[in-house]
Amino acid sequence: MIVLLALRCSYELNQQNTCFLLTQLTWVDWLMHHNVLLPEHYEWAERLQATDLFGEDAPFVLDNGLVYFSRYHNMELAVAEFVIAGQTRKPAHHWLPAELLDGQSEIVDGLFQSTSSEADKLDEQLNTEIDWQYRAVLNSLSHQFSVITGGPGTGKTTTVIKLLSSLVQYYLEQPTLIQKQIGQFTIKLAAPTGKAALRLTESMLSGIDKLNISDDIRAYIPTEASTIHRLLKSRGRNDFYYNSNNKLPIDVLVLDEASMVDLSLMSKLMSALPSRCQLVLIGDKEQLASVEAGNLLAEICAPLQSLGIERQNALQPVTELKKSYRFDSNGEIGLLAKAVNKGVGKAVEHLLIENCLGTDDANRQRYLESGSVLTWLDPNSHSIKLIVERVVRHQVAILDSISEITESNELNVVKALFKKLYELQVLSCVRQSIYGVEEFNKLVKERLSQLGRVAWQDEHYAGRPILVTENAYHLGLYNGDIGIQIPDPVSDQLVTYFIDGKGDMIKLFNQRLPTHESVYAMTVHKSQGSEFDHTILIMPGDDVGVKLLGRELIYTAITRAKTRFTIFGDKDRTLRAVNNHTVRQSGLSKLLYGL
């Protein structure tokens, strides 16, 4: 029975689950085929806990009927203890006024009034709709641990800037003696990947410029985000310079794209935070969970599902931003995202059929030239070559623009090329498949070669977009960064350009590049934290099991689109994926809320 437990624990970890129900052992088919006799169910827990393999300093733990490897149980306990302690510490810092706990703050009121346009103010007077950004700021000021969750375009970054502005203003209003006791008030921004950190840096820079914030307050608000590994100073092998015995010297940490953080990394991050530090998690609880075990953000946000609007609009540590400023709630992309998120297959089917591209040449030509806001390409009627042609036309436009680059206009042209590149991005659910990333990238290069725009045998060539697949801190590049290969305007040597979060240009010889690949298409997982004008999702064919696909994957792909979205995939397989809601087994919500 112990062998079976070990096998099952290993299997569940491979499925991104941290534990499993003890009674699930009866689901192992080969037990019956090999006549393996087990004790009666009611004896299992007692017999297991009587062995030396369960309990303190043992390899396994049995808790509330759930079986864990001890390491993962300890991680869940550590995260739960941190979250519970942070939710009960009110307000977020001892020097903040108690009036916050009553939902009152002149500083927050003034900040929202000063950053609202006249149209917004008039709208507020005519509309009694709840301002969820305002509620999120108050809630986060009132708790040492808080979460701000919301879909794309709901203003998460804007809310963070207003939260940090409020915190800094409260700090600056403290008497000199209190400020000396507090010491240097340090705020840090972090994200799980280099790409997400870059995106947060860009959002913070543009967001601060849009808001009316004084220079004194700006001086305290960071605009550059780092990866978690860089913040903690990774020493390799999952070991960090900052840890439970050597705490980070910070007062506030804002962690973006929190849904991507796995249990192990989150527990290490929390253990490295000093007792005074406020932690604010930002992310979309409906997006894809972490690649490794755990589904932390969704579990921490679990109570929202059972709370009515009135209760959500009260003092609590978790706030969901509900109004999207990117998607019209009645627009086709917004409707599709909502239908997929809720698993409403009939609504998804209606939107697909209503926006199905016709098979005549005129419709295909129109799609190649511009396309509608929402388009469904039925693989029974359209070939993948239609999407290849769409991407090739986009790539040819980039190639034509490269000739404009000179030494004097280098930065401006490179920025324009990146802007053009981000107008279109193909996403695939998997890497290896007839409709996977690797095959699509090959098809695009093959077509460009047929047109005489690239040499098939060349690894590096002008116009090639690349995706960095490892962190290279010494180069200022991170896993997920995108570059374009362009001839240097002075030497004419082919180099790779990147634009960092501050808008500065990075130029590298191709020999110095870290591990990378072409990125005419990328996986949905790699796209998290990014957005593109037109996003095309290629669903897998019959060679990929539908069980590997879920609504979270499709929702994440849809919400990468800013203005247009195309889905290429069989309708029935797509609908089965929409009905497949990913549920990971964990005991965290039980520890936090008794759920």
Q: Which residues pair with 497 in a beta bridge?
A: 484, 507
155 known ligand binder: yes
Q: Which residues contact 182 (CB under 8 A, 6 or more apart)?
A: 95, 171, 174, 251
The residue type at 125: Q
Phi, psi of 226 (to 5 degrees): -125, 165
507 known ligand binder: no
Q: Which residues contact 564 (CB under 8 A, 6 or more apart)?
A: 333, 371, 372, 373, 374, 375, 533, 534, 535
Q: Look at residues 587, 594, 590, 592 and name the one whose alpha carbon lies nearest to residue 12.
A: 587
CA distance 255 to 229: 12
- Cβ proximity of 138 and 315 under 8 Å: yes
Q: Which residue is listed with tokens 């931003």? A: 321
Q: Which residue is listed with tokens 């979309």? A: 284
Q: Which residues contact 313 (CB under 8 A, 6 or more apart)?
A: 130, 135
CA distance 164 to 7: 47
150 known ligand binder: yes
- Cβ proximity of 85 and 145 under 8 Å: yes
149 known ligand binder: no
Phi, psi of 175 (to 5 degrees): -60, 155
CA distance 34 to 39: 15
CA angle 568, 193, 158 (to 5 degrees): 85
CA distance 341 to 555: 6
39 known ligand binder: no
- Cβ proximity of 16 and 290 under 8 Å: yes
CA distance 416 to 586: 46
227 known ligand binder: no
Three-state DSSP at 591 gives helix
Say how many CA atoms lie within 13 Å of 145 toward its Cβ: 18
- Cβ proximity of 197 and 190 under 8 Å: yes
CA distance 528 to 560: 8
Q: Look at residues 386, 213, 404, 196 and name the one whose alpha carbon lies nearest to residue 283.
A: 196
The two tokens of residue 252 are 């506030």
What's 132-179 look like in SS3? Answer: HHHHHHHHHHCCCEEEEEECCCCCHHHHHHHHHHHHHHHHHCCCHHHH
Say how many CA atoms lie within 13 Å of 532 toward its Cβ: 26
Residue ranges of the binding site: 150-157
Residue ranges of the binding site for ATP: 150-157
